[in-house]
């Protein structure tokens, strides 16, 4: 039986996974969360699969070693390259693992009217084929258009300034998606919800954007309810952060992502 009093561990390559944590804090307010932002090794999306597997295992091991009741991989690149390995680590520790790719694929396949689905993701995620495999496994004939966006996560991670250069970058990534006539777009990186208004403007209101947050929160709730691990008897849990890079920068940018205070809750670590 899962111990309800333990926190849920969440990790990402930087601040992007805070878009997932934000939804979890809203949907599961009684839970405690321990978030590890590996900003000292950002970006993950341009690393090789072997580098990602090694690094993701180290980060997952750190959270498992600190005692968590569930591990959430809030990073699409890490999920694509190392999801199976991290599930094995979790199984050895008796800790369930939830990842971002599968839930998004299920939502996209269910809501697409035309069957034309786009995936905007990092090069590592696109090269892995994780979304294509997840979509193919759902038993519905889909036309999938994948676009690798090497510059987008670093732009978002750097801070809040979205200028004309950023608009041009996003516009370029949208062009092949428009040409493919997609009606549903999976935002295959947890940084990307921060530019959702830009994407929606360029793709049109009729294109549905699928993000990880709601799907992950629902998956966590189902898993913990089934194992008797849901926190109960309180209104608000706690949330804290471990950061491998510059803590002040993480707090400053992360506050915008999370839309809740980070100051005083972040600790620098080396792994």
- Written in H, E and C, the secondary structure of 183-244 is CEEEEECCCHHHHHHHHHHHHCCCCEEECHHHHHHHHHHHHHHHHCCCCCCCCCCCEEEEEC
Query: How many whole angstroms separate alpha carbon 58 and alpha carbon 62?
Result: 6
Q: What is the pLDDT of residue 1?
A: 57
Active site residue 24: no
Q: What is the pLDDT of residue 159?
A: 66
Using 70 as the pLDDT threshold, list the residues of the chain that sit under it: 1, 159-161
Do the Cβ atoms of 207 and 182 come closer than 8 Å? Answer: yes
**For the CA atoms of the chain, what is the radius of gyration?**
18
Pick from 105, 76, 84: which is nearest to 16 by CA? 76
pTM of the model: 0.86
Q: What is the pLDDT of residue 210?
A: 95
Query: How many whole angstroms separate alpha carbon 23 and alpha carbon 4?
Result: 19
Do the domains 8-99+213-268 and 101-212 sit in the same CATH topology, yes or no? Answer: yes
- From 25, 74, 75, 216, the catalytic residue: 75
pLDDT digits (tens, 9 = 90+) for 154-209: 888 876 667 788 888 899 999 999 999 999 999 999 889 888 999 999 999 999 99
- From 21, 147, 170, 189, the catalytic residue: 189
Do the Cβ atoms of 64 and 88 come closer than 8 Å? Answer: no
Q: Which fold has domain 101-212?
A: Rossmann fold (3.40.50)
> What are the residue ranges spanned by the domains of the chain?
8-99+213-268, 101-212
Q: Domain 8-99+213-268: which CATH class?
A: alpha beta
Do the Cβ atoms of 32 and 237 come closer than 8 Å? Answer: yes
């Amino acid at each position: 039986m899962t111990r309800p009093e333990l926190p849920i561990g969440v990790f990402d390559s930087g601040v992007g996974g805070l878009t997932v944590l934000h939804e979890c804090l809203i949907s599961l307010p009684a839970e405690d969360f321990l978030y590890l932002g590996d900003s000292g090794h950002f970006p993950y999306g341009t690393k090789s699969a072997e580098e990602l597997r090694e690094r993701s295992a180290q980060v997952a091991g750190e959270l498992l070693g600190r005692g968590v009741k569930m591990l959430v991989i809030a990073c699409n690149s890490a999920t694509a390259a190392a999801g199976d390995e991290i599930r094995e680590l979790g199984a050895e520790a008796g800790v369930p693992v939830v990842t971002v790719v599968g839930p998004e694929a299920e939502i996209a396949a269910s809501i697409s009217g035309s069957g034309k689905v786009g995936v905007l993701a990092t090069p590592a995620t696109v090269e892995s084929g994780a979304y294509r495999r997840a979509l193919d496994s759902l038993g519905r004939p889909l036309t999938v258009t994948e676009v690798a966006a090497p510059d987008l996560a670093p732009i978002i991670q750097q801070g809040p300034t979205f200028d004309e250069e950023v608009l041009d970058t996003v516009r370029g990534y949208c062009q092949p998606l428009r040409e493919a006539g997609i009606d549903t777009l999976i935002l295959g990186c947890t940084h990307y919800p921060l530019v959702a208004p830009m994407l929606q403007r360029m793709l049109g209101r009729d294109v549905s954007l699928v993000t990880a947050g709601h799907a992950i929160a629902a998956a966590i709730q189902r898993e913990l309810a089934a194992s008797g691990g849901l926190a109960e008897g309180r209104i608000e849990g706690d949330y804290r952060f471990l950061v491998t890079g510059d803590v002040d920068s993480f707090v400053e940018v992360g506050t915008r992502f999370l839309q809740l205070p980070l100051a005083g809750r972040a600790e620098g670590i080396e792994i």
